[in-house]
């Protein structure tokens, strides 16, 4: 029983650690994905992966203009950076 409780706690902690921010803007106010990608590429980002998260935010994996690997969550309506790793 003790091991089960430890396993459950570990799984809950791991899930919380990997969860990103939550965005609440209605979809009709979101920037179009193509426009958003073009904006970031214009700022020097190289996008390897682009996705909409479970929290309804835009997320990219790629490189910044200095070539450093990035994982960034953005508000899809305003393009504001919400979290960067």
Reported pTM: 0.76
d(Cα 46, Cα 26) in Å, to the nearest integer?
27
pLDDT mean values, one per 10 residues, the chain (85 residues): 50 56 96 96 97 97 96 97 95
Report the b/e string of 53-79 with b at 16+ CB within 10 A. Answer: beebbbbbebeeeeeeebebbbbbbee
- Indicate the CATH number for domain 21-84: 3.10.450
CA distances from 31 to 25, 27, 46, 52 (A): 11, 9, 19, 12
Domain boundaries, the chain: 21-84
Q: In the prediction, which pLDDT does 7 show?
A: 44
């Amino acid at each position: 029983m003790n091991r089960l409780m430890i396993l459950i706690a570990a799984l809950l902690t791991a899930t919380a650690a990997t969860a990103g921010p939550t965005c609440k803007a209605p979809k009709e106010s979101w920037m179009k994905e193509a426009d958003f990608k073009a904006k970031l590429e214009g700022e020097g980002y190289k996008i390897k992966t682009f996705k909409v998260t479970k929290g309804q935010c835009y997320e990219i994996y790629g490189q910044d203009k200095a070539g450093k690997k990035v994982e960034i969550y953005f508000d899809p309506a305003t393009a504001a950076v919400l979290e960067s790793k």
